[in-house]
Structure formats: structure tokens, C-alpha cells
Amino acid sequence: MRHELYRVADLPVLQNRTFADPESARASASADMLLVQDEASGLIFNQAFDADKLSYDADYQNEQAHSGQFQKHLNDVEAIIARHFKGQELIEVGCGKGYFLELLKGLGYSITGIDPAYEGDNGDVIKAPFTRGLGLSAEAIVLRHVLEHIQDPLSFLAVIAEANQGGQIYIEVPCFDWILEHRAWFDLFYEHVNYFRLDDLRRMFGTVHEAGHLFGGQYLYIVADLATLRLTPEQPVPRLTLPEGFTASLDRAVQIIQAAPEQGSAIWGASSKGVIYSLFLQRAGVAVDRVVDINPAKQGRYLPLSGARVSSPQEAMDALPEGANLFVMNSNYLEEIKRMTGGRYVYHAVDSASFQ
């Protein structure tokens, strides 16, 4: 049995794919979300998800490491890995563009990466899915921001456990409890088929060495023994309900923009959160003057469905008047953004309790 939690129509299929022109962006693929909880496993996922709709290419940009704040997060992750895996052979499954893998290699780790979409030239990265047929195994597996994209996460972990013949695993995923607590409806994406809570991860393993929150509570992590993977929980799982006013912050933003259109406004952050936020503001009948991102690969390009153009910070600051409303998509970066912009704007951290 499954019960419905949330539904929304016409989300971008790939929210981090950018486009060369606004027409292509507006014509890009969309799909629906029907978020449900499975009453047996307790897991939360998009029942309307179709993996065949997803196709990653060079126009897909999700590199966060341009931010000093995110680099600090990666150092925090490395500290956890060092506590448990120092001196061990590692495999990073889903290493993406290889930034974290290169960070670990630079610190002396012995690590192999696996990702079919890898675009670099590191000989220690295999451009393929992780299967037993590769004949690879290691003492520990690193799985960062992969499991939320996998349609059947328990089966996927079972394949890894079998292929690797046990071993330890580090898993990191977004935290659904944080999304609920902060009414962060803009953190629900089509690409993320699964939404995990800390208890969900704990239930998956008989032996958990360490588990907790990272990145200001927005991410979860667990270090566990792969050989103790459980395909079904030992105890019944409580039924989840969404908090009241889950999407109320959208109305608040509309009011702020409509109250003083001459004041100017911008969204800071053209990754997943900003893509969803700008699209739903547009659908509510308002538009910000700028969408800003520090990632050079996004600048001058256009966001899916909304067709919003991405500005560099300098371009935005040259155009926006002092006192403009700046909607900061991730409060982890708020102080960094204030420093970068000289404190000249009115800053709204849309994921903070004060904005609800």
C-alpha cells in the first residue's frame, strides 16, 4: 500500500540542464511528480517517475564546488571518511565530474571512480555503471548523491553489496526531514525519485557505524556495513504527513515582488532550487529581474521551462539597484553572498523559518 503526500505537474525533467536560447529552454521536457510513501518499507518516492525521460549530456551542469562554503562541506565529508576508511581501497560509485574523487586522491587515498557520464580523462575512473561484471571490489564504497536518483534504491544497494562482497559504505543524500521542516517545496525535483529521512537510512542496515546530518542539516549521511543490508524493515514504519502551509512561501515571495516592482528583484542560485523557484514564481504571475549563479558554465544560458537567463554576480550587481530584493535559494550561502554583494540588497533566505 502507498499513500499520497504531494503532487505537482510539469516539473523540468532535468532541472540542471541549461540551454543556449530561451525558446529551446521553454520547449524542454517536463513531467509530473506524485510523491507517495510505501507503507511496508516507509520509503518516499515519486510514483510517476520514468527513468527513460532522463538523459544527461554536456549541457547538464550541477557543479557546486565553485563555492567556498561547499568546499568546506566536502572537507567535512572527507573527515568522516578518514575516520572509517583511512588507508583502505575505495570505490566512488557515481563520481560525476570527479571533483570529490580528485580531492581524495590529492590527500593520498587509493580510489577508483565509476560513472557512465564521466567526461574527464582520469584513468582511475571507469565510464560504466557499477556491475558485478566489472570484477571490481574494494574495502569501502562511497555513494554521494546517487541514491536519490535510483528508482529501486534497496535493489541497487543489494547489487553493490553482492558485487563488492560486503565491505563498508558511506552514503550521502538530501534530507527529507529538512525539506519538510523548512517548507522547502522547491527542493522537490523530478530527477530525485527518492526522498530519505535519517531513520530510513538507519533501517536499511543491521550495523551502522555513524550517521547524522551535514551541510546545515540539508544532507544526511550514514556509514554502515554493506553485508548487513536489510531489504525490509524489522519494525512497522510510521505514516508520514506533510506540514501545513508547505508551499506558503511562494505566496510570500509573490507579495514582496508585487509590493514594490520598481525596487528590483533577483533569485540567487540557478541550480535545482532556483530553477524550480523561478518557474513557479513565473507561473504565479510574477518574474524576477535576474537569476544569478557563480558557476561560469551556467552564465548566459537559459533555465528549463521558465526560459530565465542566468547572470553572473557582476552582471547582476551592475543591473540591480541598491535595496533590490534578493531571494537566496540556499541559506548556507547567505553570508558568502552578502560579502560578495557588499550588503547592498534586501536578502531573503527562502528556506529559513522567518520567511515562511
- pLDDT value at position 310? 97
Examine the domain organization and report whether 164 and 43 are in the same domain: yes
Q: Could you tell me where the DSSP H helices lie in 3-140?
A: 22-26, 68-85, 99-106
N-to-C CA span, the chain: 33
Examine the domain organization and report whether 105 and 194 are in the same domain: yes
Examine the domain organization and report whether 291 and 217 are in the same domain: no
Kindly report, residue by residue over 285-337, the tens digit of the pLDDT: 998 999 999 999 999 999 999 999 999 999 999 999 999 999 999 999 999 99
Q: Count the Cβ atoms, other than its own, within 10 Å of residue 152.
A: 13
Examine the domain organization and report whether 208 and 271 are in the same domain: no
Instruction: List the domain range (segments joined by +) for residue 336.
Output: 248-355
Spatial separation of the C-alpha atoms in residues 351 and 349, rounded to whole Å: 6
Spatial contact of 325 and 152, defined as CB atoms under 8 Å apart: no
What mean pLDDT, rounded, does the chain reach? 93
Examine the domain organization and report whether 234 and 285 are in the same domain: no
- pLDDT value at position 339? 96
Kindly report, residue by residue over 171-225, the tens digit of the pLDDT: 999 999 999 999 999 999 999 999 999 999 999 999 999 999 999 999 999 999 9
CA angle 119, 123, 128 (to 5 degrees): 55
Examine the domain organization and report whether 201 and 306 are in the same domain: no
Kindly report, residue by residue over 82-112, the tens digit of the pLDDT: 999 999 999 999 998 899 999 999 999 999 9
More confident residue, 319 or 117: 319
Res. 113: pLDDT tops 90: yes
Examine the domain organization and report whether 271 and 328 are in the same domain: yes
Kindly report, residue by residue over 124-159, the tens digit of the pLDDT: 999 988 888 888 999 999 999 999 999 999 999 999
- pLDDT value at position 197? 97
- Name the helix (H) or strand (E) containing 164: helix 153-164
Average pLDDT on 63-79 reads: 80
Spatial contact of 313 and 288, defined as CB atoms under 8 Å apart: no
Examine the domain organization and report whether 9 and 65 are in the same domain: yes
Provide the pairing of β-strand 30-38 with 2-12: antiparallel
Spatial separation of the C-alpha atoms in residues 292 and 312, rounded to whole Å: 6
Kindly report, residue by residue over 225-282, the tens digit of the pLDDT: 999 999 999 889 999 999 999 999 999 999 999 998 999 999 999 999 999 999 999 9
Q: Using pLDDT thresholds of 50, 70 and 90, give the confidence band for residue 57.
A: low
Q: Which of 191, 210, 244 is the last residue of a domain?
A: 244
- pLDDT value at position 201? 96
Provide the domain count of the chain: 2
Examine the domain organization and report whether 325 and 268 are in the same domain: yes
Q: Write the CATH number for 279.
A: 3.40.50.720
Q: Indicate left, alpha or beta for 75 from its phi (over 0: left) and psi (-120 to 50: alpha).
A: alpha
Residue with cell 551541510: 215
Report, in angstroms and rounded to the nearest whole number, the Rg of the chain calculated over CA atoms: 21
Examine the domain organization and report whether 216 and 191 are in the same domain: yes
Examine the domain organization and report whether 161 and 228 are in the same domain: yes
- pLDDT value at position 70? 82
Examine the domain organization and report whether 229 and 337 are in the same domain: no
Q: Which of 192, 224, 244 is the last residue of a domain?
A: 244
Q: Which of 244, 269, 302 is the last residue of a domain?
A: 244
Q: Write the CATH number for 118.
A: 3.40.50.150
282 in helix, strand or coil? helix
